[in-house]
Amino acid sequence: MIPANFVSHIRLFYRPIRAGIDRLARRDNAGRTAIGALTRSKGLWCLIDQAIVSATGFLTSVLLGRMLSVDGLGVFFLAWNLVLIARAVQGDLITSPYMVYCRRKAEDAAPYYGGSVAGHQFILTAALSAALAIGTAVPAWAGAAESRVAVGFVVAATMPFLLVREFTRHYSYAHLRIAPVVLTDILVLVLQLGGLVLLSFLASMTVFRAYLVIGGASALASWAWWRLARPNWKWNAARAIEDWRTNWRFGRWALASQIAGRATVWIAPWLLALWHGERATGIFAACATLVNLAGMFVTGVGNYLTPRAVAALAESGTRELVRILRRVAVLYGIVLGGFVVAMIVFGDVLVSAVYGPTYAGNGTVIGVLAVGMLITSFGIVVGNGLWALDRPRPNFAADIASLAGSACLLPWAVSERGVAGVAWSLLAGTVLGTAVRAWAFRQAISDRIAAEETA
């Protein structure tokens, strides 16, 4: 039962947040905002921001792992997998093309391009949420468990806020405007973790309520971003259609590549649940979340690398692009190499300490997933190079190779080896896909340098 003064408490909490956001967004006589001085080293702030996002995700997983059963964590992870698929579609069709093309637009055309992608985002978000709601209605009609159906509908209801928040983050990254992203991600951390801690304190934690909290935090963060960033968008229907065609020519290859490269990652948790139950999926979720602490670093550097690589090629040429990519690869190798060693030695101890003794005995899984993270980081480097060169097709070929490598092993590995089989299958695909991607990039960069030297 909701207390009578619940709404008044929410308003007391909401008003200072709104006042603070308004102060930060207020411009002085020179047109500067209070957040303008927050960022100097954008690469560092990208890492800090990703640390905030990763900490939010990791602590959310820990709270759920501690307060829910292993099966409950598995259900949450399966539902979250649907959100990740929607984010991937959004990223490839909306934000990735925008990152590549926004710097190529003339000054008077840029606001219309921004308005176009905002319109595309709205339509795609509505379509994905509707598809999930319809997909949930089918098993509900067939008599599926009421609790599972409720989770499906609440994810469909909160997905628009989760997708819009992700869109705003990548839109700001495309322009290397980091301050609004950092502030709104801090807001999500406070609201999301605060809400989940409250549910834990009240002994009211369920997967359904957890998604309500997560969706509410993203909704407020999206509003705060709008107040802080104040994007200069203009709408023209004819331009929006033409911009969609341009983005589609790029995005279709990125999307096909994403589907090929991530299909086994998306399917594996469902196969685990099918063969070994939701408990196995919960164990895999805990191991993957622990390893994804390194994903904080990988994604943070990658968020900065994508627009930086495009800018380097446009402003300084191919050799500058190669120099930047080489430096990032070395950085990944040093940092993640140490992480791999730490996970191999201490992974089992860490997962049981963080999630509880129920999750012990999975050190091999954690070590294999950590090696996969290292290989993935190298693939991100050369993949960004291909994107900067406007060569998305080789990325698709590489992801087809990754899919083939994992798919050949996955059914047998999951049925016979369970969680460990999933880890080994994903590693095999990652190694093969990264090798193909690196070969394609080497060929593309050699051709580009030769063309520049003969021009």
The torsion angle over the Cα atoms of residues 200, 202, 208 and 213, rounded to 10 degrees, is: -70
Q: Report the pLDDT value the prediction gives residue 260, as an integer from 0 to 100.
A: 78
DSSP 94: I
Alpha-carbon distance values, 10 to 4, 24, 94, 210 (Å): 12, 22, 34, 18
Q: What number of residues does the chain have? A: 455
Q: How far apart are CA 55 and CA 262, in angstroms?
A: 23
What percent of the chain has pLDDT above 70? 88
Query: Rounded to 5 degrees, what angle do the CA atoms 254, 126, 234 make?
Result: 80
Q: How far apart are CA 115 and CA 24, in angstroms?
A: 24
**Tokens read off for 320:** 């500058």
The more confidently predicted of residues 310 and 355 is: 355
Q: Which range has highest mean pLDDT (5-9, 159-163, 314-318)?
A: 159-163
The more confidently predicted of residues 11 and 410 is: 410
Phi and psi at 27, nearest 5°, equal -95, 145
Alpha-carbon distance values, 443 to 158, 260, 382 (Å): 44, 22, 11
Q: Report the pLDDT value the prediction gives residue 369, as an integer from 0 to 100.
A: 95
Question: Which range (1-5, 163-167, 255-259, 263-267) has the least confidence?
Answer: 1-5
**312-322 pLDDT tens trace:** 887 777 888 88
Q: Return the closest-CA partner of residue 272 out of 144, 136, 69, 411.
A: 411
Q: How far apart are CA 311 and CA 71, in angstroms?
A: 46
What single-letter amino acid sits at 367? G
What percent of the chain has pLDDT above 90? 33
Residue 10, pLDDT above cutoff 60: no
Q: Which H helix or E strand runs over 183?
A: helix 179-201
Whole-angstrom distance between the N-terminal and C-terminal Cα of the chain? 74
Alpha-carbon distance values, 292 to 107, 201, 263 (Å): 39, 27, 18
The more confidently predicted of residues 323 and 10 is: 323
Cβ(233)–Cβ(375) under 8 Å?
no
Alpha-carbon distance values, 206 to 37, 151, 210, 340 (Å): 41, 10, 6, 34
Alpha-carbon distance values, 337 to 286, 332, 363 (Å): 21, 8, 17
Q: Which H helix or E strand runs over 6?
A: helix 6-25
Q: Report the pLDDT value the prediction gives residue 388, as an integer from 0 to 100.
A: 81
Cβ(47)–Cβ(301) under 8 Å?
yes
Q: What is the residue whose two structure tokens read 């992801």?
A: 399
Would you put residue 26 in left (φ > 0), alpha (ψ -120 to 50) or beta?
Answer: beta
What single-letter amino acid sits at 53? V
The band of 241, judged by pLDDT with boundaries at 50, 70 and 90, is very high
**107-139 pLDDT tens trace:** 788 889 999 999 999 999 999 999 998 888 876
Query: Rounded to 5 degrees, what angle do the CA atoms 37, 42, 43 make?
Result: 155
Q: How many CB atoms lie within 10 A of CB 258?
A: 22
Q: Which range has highest mean pLDDT (390-404, 414-428, 438-452)?
A: 414-428
Q: Residues with Cβ < 8 Å from 107, sequence gap 6 or more?
A: none
The band of 300, judged by pLDDT with boundaries at 50, 70 and 90, is confident
Q: Where are the domains of the chain?
A: 40-450
Q: How far apart are CA 343 and CA 334, in angstroms?
A: 15
Give DSSP secondary structure letters for 298-321: HHHHHHHHHHHHHHHHHHH-HHHH
Sign of CA dihedral 245, 247, 248, 253: positive
Q: Report the pLDDT value the prediction gives residue 145, as an integer from 0 to 100.
A: 62
Cβ(218)–Cβ(165) under 8 Å?
yes
| Mean pLDDT of all residues belonging to the chain | 83
